[in-house]
């Protein structure tokens, strides 16, 4: 159970390889209709296992694995 954003991660994170395709971005435009699963059961944005936040911020610039990311949108309910 997470109590702050540092205790979360983006479980679908895959380190971007040169030339690799990304679901979350089309060019430099975010994909606003991409569903995001959420397993942080005590996050106020968790709606039955999906994130219901109007916008999501994930930290982890330069991350090489999912454990180096965190959900900055997390808000303990």
**For the chain, what are the domain ranges?**
1-77
Query: Backbone phi, then psi, for 34, in 5-degree steps?
Result: -70, 120
Answer positive or negative: Cα dihedral of 46, 50, 51, 54.
negative
Highest mean pLDDT among 28-32, 46-50, 62-66: 46-50
CB 58 within 8 A of CB 71: yes
Query: Cα separation of 13 and 59, whole Å?
Result: 11
CA distances from 22 to 46, 48, 50 (A): 24, 25, 20
pTM of the model: 0.75
Q: pLDDT tens-digit profile of 42-52?
A: 999 999 999 99
- Average per-residue pLDDT for the chain: 84
Closest CA to 2 of 76, 65, 66, 60: 76
């Amino acid at each position: 159970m997470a109590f702050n954003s540092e205790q979360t991660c983006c479980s679908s994170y895959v380190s971007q390889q040169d030339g690799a395709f990304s679901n979350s971005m089309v060019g430099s435009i975010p994909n606003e209709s991409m569903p995001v699963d959420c397993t942080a059961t005590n996050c106020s944005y968790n709606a039955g296992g999906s994130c219901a936040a109007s916008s999501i911020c994930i930290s982890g610039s330069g991350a090489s694995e999912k454990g180096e990311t965190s959900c900055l949108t997390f808000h303990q309910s």
